[in-house]
A and B are shown apart, each in its own frame.
Chain A
């Protein structure tokens, strides 16, 4: 069963913040986040392996709440280059990764 992402789409101005949520009805072993720009391959952003873990990459960070079976991706002071579709992936214990439908982020000048 695929995780549910929200919102489906968000439009921002440069410098604004955004939060993308990913929730699952099943227990999560880890959460991956990817960004895909139009016409390109999805690119790995970060992986969270443990409940309570938080990570950051430049001004993009994420948290993982194992008990709530959810993860959130935080984009701070967004830049034009952040535009794209963000996917969360939730591997099961056999390694099969299921992805959410994606959140399309548009950053405008």
Chain B
């Protein structure tokens, strides 16, 4: 069974631009979570979507947004990019969400903001 797929894997943007990242979860998984990973901050929770609804949200500014489609694929968008947004963005899928299931992570999208 195919794993979690994230695209693009690498991208470079400049300050002020916006970016959209995509995540295709494992087939049948309805929950998709997004995390920002930086060397100094570890894995920071951005948001979680379940059946097209945002169910949980982390402490990130409104420039970070996301959505989930009916096929469970998810996108996250970052507008007005700042240098500090440079990070590895990981998405993880889970069959049902909740606190009992394992998370399956994609390999991430590495964003560099210049």
Contact = CB atoms under 8 A, between A and B. Distances in A.
Contact of B97 (A40, A43, A95): A95
A42 B67 CA distance: 23
Interface of A is mostly: loop
Could you say which interface size class chain A belongs to?
20 to 34
Contact of B99 (A30, A41, A43): A30
A32 B90 CA distance: 17
A102 B42 contact: yes
Interface stretch (B11-19, B76-84, B105-113): B105-113
A51 interface: no
Interface residues of B, number: 26
B56 A89 contact: no
Given A41-B105, A41-B106, A44-B104, A91 B43 contact: no
B45 interface: yes
Interface of B: 4, 31, 33, 35, 41-43, 45, 48, 55-56, 58, 90, 92, 97-108
26 contacts: A30-B99, A32-B102, A32-B103, A40-B107, A41-B105, A41-B106, A41-B107, A42-B90, A42-B92, A42-B103, A47-B100, A49-B100, A89-B103, A91-B98, A91-B99, A92-B99, A95-B48, A96-B48, A97-B33, A97-B45, A99-B43, A99-B45, A100-B42, A101-B41, A101-B42, A102-B43
